[in-house]
Amino acid sequence: MEQTQEWGARFDGGFGDVTRARLGAEEYLNRLARASPPATPEYRDDILLVVSELVSNAIQYAPGPIELTMRKAFDGVHVTLGDTSITPPAPRPFHPGTGKGGGIGWYLIHTLCDQVSVVVREEGKDVHAFLPW
Q: How many domains does the chain have?
A: 1
Q: For residue 85, what is the domain's CATH number?
A: 3.30.565.10
Average pLDDT, the chain: 92
| pLDDT in the model for residue 15 | 86
Specify the higher pLDDT residue, 104 or 43: 43
CA distance from start to end of the chain:
19
| pLDDT in the model for residue 3 | 58
Does 13 fall in a domain?
yes
The rounded distance, in Å, linking the Cα atoms of 62 and 14 is 11
Query: Contact 35/4 with Cβ under 8 angstroms?
Result: yes
Taking every pair of Cα atoms in the chain, the longest distance, rounded to a whole number of angstroms, is: 49
Going 80 to 20 to 54 to 26, the CA torsion angle's sign is negative
pTM: 0.91
Does 111 fall in a domain?
yes
Does 53 fall in a domain?
yes
Q: Is the pLDDT of residue 67 over 90?
A: yes
Q: Sorting pLDDT into bands at 50, 70 and 90, what band is 1?
A: very low
* pLDDT, tens digit, 9 for 90 and up, residues 9-60: 999 999 899 999 999 999 999 999 999 999 999 999 999 999 999 999 999 9
**Could you give the strand order of the β-sheet that contains 115-121, starting from the edge strand earlier in sequence?**
6-11, 66-72, 76-83, 124-132, 115-121
Domain holding 100, by residue range, is: 6-132
Does 1 fall in a domain?
no
Does 85 fall in a domain?
yes
- Helix-helix angle 17-35:41-61, to 10 degrees: 150
* pLDDT, tens digit, 9 for 90 and up, residues 74-96: 889 999 999 999 999 988 877 67
